[in-house]
Structure 1
Amino acid sequence: MKKLFLLFIIFTTSTMLAQIERIEPPFWYAGMHNPELQILVYGKNIAKYTVSTSNAIPLSKVEKTENPNYLFVTINTENVSPQDFSLIFKEKDKLAFTHKYSLKQRREDSANRKGFDASDMLYLIMPDRFSNGKKNNDSDISTKEKNNRALPGGRHGGDIQGIINHLDYIEELGATTIWSTPLCEDNDAQYSYHTYGQSDVYKIDPRYGTNEDYVRLSSEMHQRKMKLVMDYVTNHWGIEHWMMKDLPTQDWFNYIGNYTETNHKRTVIHDIHASELDKKKCIDGWFVPSMPDINIKNPLVLKYLTQNAIWWIEYADLDGFRVDTYNYSDPHGIALWTKSITDEYPNFNIVGEVWMFNQSHAAYWQKDSKIAAIQNFNSNLPSVMDFTLLGAINSAFNEDEASWDKGMIKIYDNFTNDFLFPNPDNILIFAENHDTHRINHMFNNDLNKYKMAMALLATTRGIPQLYYGSEIGMAGNKDKGDADIRQDFPGGWDGDSNNAFTAAGRTEMQNEYFNFTSKLFNWRKTKTVIHSGKMTHYIPENNVYVYFRYDAEQAVMILINNSRETKTIKTNRFQENIGNYKMGKDVITEKIMDVTSEITLEPKSVLILELK
């Protein structure tokens, strides 16, 4: 009898394993704002079974598609306590097998987690190029592309452990938050290091580590009161995504069997004259041939993506998302995705990549935009990326001679359009990222220009973001290819001749870059006047830009001389902001200077003065 029972257990278990190849999400959490949970069950001919649940867990519906290898099982978790229960699969009323599913306990006060904001500075890392913390995961048997550091566009071996190993460095730099480019599995045969072509969105790429390593990174950061932002991709997956081998529905991806590339013309979304043909090609077209476009107009797809995002927030205890190619997706679908997440986490922050060089176009995509309201649209997106400021920074500091439209007037004009944004304080500001020329290439490694650009990012409205390596003078020319702007951080690999993670290992010039950046952003950490104070700026004269950040208790005066000549500035012009203040303390040199009459500025220099 015992043998028969044992054989039954073995048979049932092996049948279950054969039938269920994947179940996603792999587990869930009790007590969520939206109680409806859609469970994807994948296995050969799984749709032939009827499904029920144990423990009286309410089963809302079971959906089948044209592919018999999928079932979408929806349960209602309202008022259900954390517990394990079973999904019960029957064929012709006979038990076939069961599958244990878990509803886990959420972290305390998880719903009220506070996202990144203007008090933070984001440090953008490409993990494959930052530091190799574990050599034994440089290649993996389950993934196609193997480690080859000699290949500029290959896998170089950086990983999650490498980031953990250098949290002291990142904290010393003055960063409060890490934004890492995607870490989920990308099984492309080449160029997989950027990980934007993901093949499994519930699994960390084994060359970066494990899911548990990612949770450990989050925990280590939270112990330091730092924040972790995940780079999330809603618009596309990789051509090697496991669903591409066996589509759940024929419309899970757009343009299957009839490849069409997007026209990249996202203005068609709000263009009242745009043709439907152009709109469809923009929204539904593939980003590149290796990245199939996800159809979030399909309710099953939208629910899948929404739950995957929420699962990572709960599981890895995240503090924010940066969403790649945000406005390439169907606008109404992506707005619903965003709202679903912020409904669960009202204080969570999401910044969307809205790569547009017109403020009205960018502002259209921020939550509660009055521009978008004209078309009865609300993206629900709390934050957008300020590409207009990027463009101004990249050109203005190379223009020594001011004119009507050159030099610091470009920076000034950028801020004159802030009235278009519902919340200009919650905009991500940056001088470069992993897709652009490096700022030090644009400035020909002119340290003074770098200092002016960083000072601007540290003191104006918004949330500053720094790209890894720029703080030690790393440069890169995108015209030479992406690998040139995504070089390895020196010292991240054993045997590197230059270890820029330590002061002793840095060159003299690298220390000049680092020391300025560290002093600036560590000063910024505690300055609420910069985080939330008001801003008044003055029309630039002779390529000198002056602005103030102030609140009821503090005031900071920022002066940027973008000319090649020494400038002496009469301060009576700024009396409405200087008021009764007499002195100013330079936050970098800590020198005290009189602000009642005039201030002298060296060529290509910046002063940040705390008024006293």
Structure 2
Amino acid sequence: MKKLIFFLFLSISSIAQITRIEPPFWYSDMNHADVQIMFYGKNIAQNEVSATNLIIKNVQKTENPNYLFVTIDTKNVAPGTFVFTFKNGKKSFTQNYTLKARKKDSALRKGFDSSDMIYLIMSDRFANGNPNNDSSPNLIEKADRTNKDGRHGGDIEGMIQHLDYLQELGATAIWPTPLCEDNDEKGSYHTYGQSDVYKIDERFGTNEDYVRLSNELHKRNMKLIKDYVTNHWGYKHWMMDDLPTYDWIHQFPGYKQTTYRMTTQFDPNASALDAKICMDGWFVKSMPDLNQSNPLVLNYLIQNALWWIEYADLDGFRVDTYPYADKNAIATWTKAIMDEYPNFNIVGEAWLYSTAQIAYWQKDSKVAAIQSYNSHLPSVMDFMLQSILNEGVLHEDKSEWQKGIVRVYNSLASDFLYPDINNLLIFAENHDTQRLNQFYPEFEKYKLTMMLLATMRGIPQLYYGSEIGMAGDKNKGDGDIRRDFPGGWPGDSQNAFTQAGRTPEQQKYFEITSQLFQWRKAKKVIHTGKTTHYVPENNVYVYFRHNENESVMVLINNSNEKQTVSPERFAENLAKYAQGKDILTQKSFDIRKPIEIEPKSGFILELK
């Protein structure tokens, strides 16, 4: 009996030796067929490993005996459950591992593109669909809605419950801020300091809830974009207490903060030291900087990204702080994803205020090619346009050489630097910037901004709540630009998710936003048409979006005076047309005659 108990103890002890397996399972028929499985557990590296019906191509140990990286070949291996045997002397144990079947045509999935309007959701602040998960006994920070910088309880269920609202608004894709676990003691609601990148934070829901969100979106022909962080994790990430290798993160030794000087990544005159500190320094002290130049780290990140695409049936990534990662490694990461999914889309955050510097990071950039660099990144964020809007261009009532709406014109005049102008993310604000309705509190200027975003080249992105006039002052802290959406919480005094619950002012904002983006959905001429624009006169900007079949004329009067636009100047774009119908008022114009435009207003004319 004692002997039996002893052997049972050995068996249980050995099984308990593996406490984590990442990725937890994989998929058959992947281009990324050599899968590196990370087994973690006390002294796991002391074991020899074999597998039944699988080819083990490599077993890699590190200086930490608690990790074992086992690479298997899954090429031409059918879905099923396979058995790994771990043996240390006379002791051995087994561990199952599953290869699952991919969804039909998974590799051909189509990512978000210029036909979409992306709705950016601050996940903790949009809607609380399940108050029971507001706090978790397994996670440190508890819900406290009275704290503007605390967790408020927004979750995945809240998103699912309001997808009809987003459809009515005209959104075709959503980008929630990160949803994976963030176990920081405070400020964890933003979730950019993740503690487990294979697990949805319990306060947002479960992995299964995330899959359900994806499924519900796809039922509506909408898309799901995952906010992915390659540059850093949170200091509460489970590995931080037991790193696989000393150089899994950047150490100097210990902590050194980045200078945030992204220019050092392409400046031909930059010192090697400055480039290193920018790229390898930590974003903030609570976010350890990942060393993507370590092959184990890079492969871990590639596999994690591919796993989420397959598992949650994703339509795209938005990549946080893209240029802060190792420059060559992030290009490898991006290419691996795009090789697996050629029609997928990834947009990178390159927060720079120069068109050339932003364009450097887009795939096949001629600017980057000077340095023999290619990021392979399909889409970049047009921070140049955003900065012009954010700096108050619509407050500049008088036309000067470098003031007024000509600044928007000048921005688009540099479009020749972008390899793919239709694959730019255009926006006026996001979760890190001043709120649109804070720097333009006047409805007329909000309307002009939406008219620009709805008709310019690129992929428009709207930040949650702006469509009902929500404001917020970044000077009062991030919590103020990330307020709760009214009606998202049980017991809210107002529910702005419904027309009946919106104030007349909120309804005015909602209607103009919905009208513009519902119209845009079917307009290929806006999605992929050519742009022809004219140098602004009297602070009036006129541009055309056109293709072989149709043409749209956009007129923006940024002055405080009524302006008259004469058609003769635009003859090259108007020669075939006699009439234009404004999509907002349905008013028809004889475009062979002068058009009067009221102050701070505009027209979007479909030409006939």
TM-score (normalizing by structure 2): 0.98
Matches within 5 A, 1:422-441: 422-441=419-438
Q: Note if contact 1:12-1:96 (Cα within 8 Å) is conserved in structure 2.
A: no
- The correspondence for 1:284, drawn from 276, 280, 287, is 280
In 2, the alpha carbon distance for the partners of 1:98 and 1:12 equals 13
Q: Note if contact 1:16-1:99 (Cα within 8 Å) is conserved in structure 2.
A: no
- The correspondence for 1:509, drawn from 481, 499, 505, is 505
The corresponding residue for 1:113 is 109
What SS class does the counterpart of residue 506 from structure 2 fall into? helix
Q: Note if contact 2:15-2:93 (Cα within 8 Å) is conserved in structure 1.
A: no
Matched, 1:186 2:162: no
Q: Note if contact 1:27-1:101 (Cα within 8 Å) is conserved in structure 2.
A: yes
In 1, the alpha carbon distance for the partners of 2:189 and 2:515 equals 32
Q: Deviations over 1:178-210 (max 9, x none)?
A: 001000000000000000000000000000000
The corresponding residue for 2:327 is 331
Range 244-253 or range 9-18, more displaced: 9-18
- How far has the Cα of 1:257 moved from its partner? 4.2
Matched, 1:59 2:56: yes
TM-score (normalizing by structure 1): 0.98
Letter in 2 for 1:538: Y
- The correspondence for 1:542, drawn from 501, 513, 538, is 538
Quote the RMSD (CA, aligned, Å). Answer: 1.3
Letter in 2 for 1:173: L
Q: Note if contact 2:35-2:71 (Cα within 8 Å) is conserved in structure 1.
A: yes
In 2, the alpha carbon distance for the partners of 1:168 and 1:262 equals 42
In 2, the alpha carbon distance for the partners of 1:174 and 1:299 equals 42
Q: Note if contact 2:122-2:177 (Cα within 8 Å) is conserved in structure 1.
A: yes
Q: Note if contact 2:350-2:361 (Cα within 8 Å) is conserved in structure 1.
A: yes
Q: Note if contact 2:350-2:381 (Cα within 8 Å) is conserved in structure 1.
A: yes
Matched, 1:242 2:238: yes
- How far has the Cα of 1:95 moved from its partner? 4.9
What SS class does the counterpart of residue 248 from structure 2 fall into? coil
Matches within 5 A, 1:75-474: 75-92=72-89, 94-255=90-251, 257-394=253-390, 395-443=392-440, 445-474=441-470
- The correspondence for 1:14, drawn from 4, 12, 22, is 12
Letter in 2 for 1:478: K
The corresponding residue for 2:40 is 42
Q: Note if contact 1:250-1:256 (Cα within 8 Å) is conserved in structure 2.
A: no
- How far has the Cα of 1:258 moved from its partner? 2.3
Letter in 1 for 2:385: L
In 2, the alpha carbon distance for the partners of 1:285 and 1:513 equals 42
- How far has the Cα of 1:17 moved from its partner? 3.9
Letter in 1 for 2:297: V
What SS class does the counterpart of residue 492 from structure 1 fall into? coil
Q: Deviations over 1:112-158 (max 9, x none)?
A: 00000000000000110000000110000010000000000000000
In 1, the alpha carbon distance for the partners of 2:446 and 2:358 equals 26
Q: Note if contact 2:43-2:67 (Cα within 8 Å) is conserved in structure 1.
A: yes
What SS class does the counterpart of residue 492 from structure 2 fall into? coil
- How far has the Cα of 1:14 moved from its partner? 2.3
- How far has the Cα of 1:447 moved from its partner? 0.5
The corresponding residue for 2:592 is 596
- How far has the Cα of 1:10 moved from its partner? 5.3
What SS class does the counterpart of residue 397 from structure 1 fall into? helix
In 2, the alpha carbon distance for the partners of 1:496 and 1:206 equals 23
What SS class does the counterpart of residue 159 from structure 2 fall into? helix
- How far has the Cα of 1:568 moved from its partner? 1.1
In 1, the alpha carbon distance for the partners of 2:358 and 2:557 equals 29
Q: Deviations over 1:317-367 (max 9, x none)?
A: 000000000000110000000000000000000000000000010011000
Matched, 1:583 2:579: yes
In 2, the alpha carbon distance for the partners of 1:440 and 1:606 equals 19
Q: Note if contact 1:124-1:466 (Cα within 8 Å) is conserved in structure 2.
A: yes
In 1, the alpha carbon distance for the partners of 2:259 and 2:207 equals 36
Letter in 2 for 1:47: A
In 2, the alpha carbon distance for the partners of 1:552 and 1:376 equals 36
Letter in 2 for 1:436: T
In 1, the alpha carbon distance for the partners of 2:521 and 2:461 equals 13
Q: Deviations over 1:492-517 (max 9, x none)?
A: 00111121000000000000000000
Q: Deviations over 1:289-316 (max 9, x none)?
A: 0000000000000000000000000000
Work out the percentage of aligned pairs sharing the same amino acid.
62
Letter in 2 for 1:591: K
In 2, the alpha carbon distance for the partners of 1:436 and 1:563 equals 26
The corresponding residue for 1:26 is 24
The verdict on how the C-alpha distance between 1:148 and 1:285 changes in structure 2, with shifts beyond 3 A counting, is same
In 2, the alpha carbon distance for the partners of 1:580 and 1:377 equals 44
What SS class does the counterpart of residue 157 from structure 1 fall into? coil
Q: Note if contact 1:283-1:330 (Cα within 8 Å) is conserved in structure 2.
A: yes
What SS class does the counterpart of residue 305 from structure 2 fall into? helix
Following TM superposition, the consecutive aligned residue runs of length 4 or more in structure 1 with deviations greater than 4 angstroms are: 7-13
Q: Note if contact 1:88-1:95 (Cα within 8 Å) is conserved in structure 2.
A: no
Unaligned runs of 5+ in 1: none
- How far has the Cα of 1:34 moved from its partner? 2.0
In 2, the alpha carbon distance for the partners of 1:82 and 1:236 equals 33
What SS class does the counterpart of residue 232 from structure 1 fall into? strand
Q: Note if contact 1:544-1:559 (Cα within 8 Å) is conserved in structure 2.
A: yes
In 2, the alpha carbon distance for the partners of 1:254 and 1:25 equals 23
In 1, the alpha carbon distance for the partners of 2:463 and 2:10 equals 52
What SS class does the counterpart of residue 319 from structure 2 fall into? strand
In 2, the alpha carbon distance for the partners of 1:257 and 1:333 equals 22
The verdict on how the C-alpha distance between 1:596 and 1:68 changes in structure 2, with shifts beyond 3 A counting, is same
- How far has the Cα of 1:12 moved from its partner? 6.3
Q: Note if contact 1:181-1:194 (Cα within 8 Å) is conserved in structure 2.
A: yes
- How far has the Cα of 1:32 moved from its partner? 0.3
In 2, the alpha carbon distance for the partners of 1:207 and 1:406 equals 47
Aligned length in residues: 607
In 2, the alpha carbon distance for the partners of 1:495 and 1:399 equals 42
In 2, the alpha carbon distance for the partners of 1:331 and 1:565 equals 49
In 1, the alpha carbon distance for the partners of 2:377 and 2:84 equals 36
In 2, the alpha carbon distance for the partners of 1:597 and 1:16 equals 85
Matched, 1:574 2:570: yes
Q: Deviations over 1:434-481 (max 9, x none)?
A: 0000011011x2000001111101101000000000000001111110
Q: Note if contact 1:158-1:208 (Cα within 8 Å) is conserved in structure 2.
A: yes
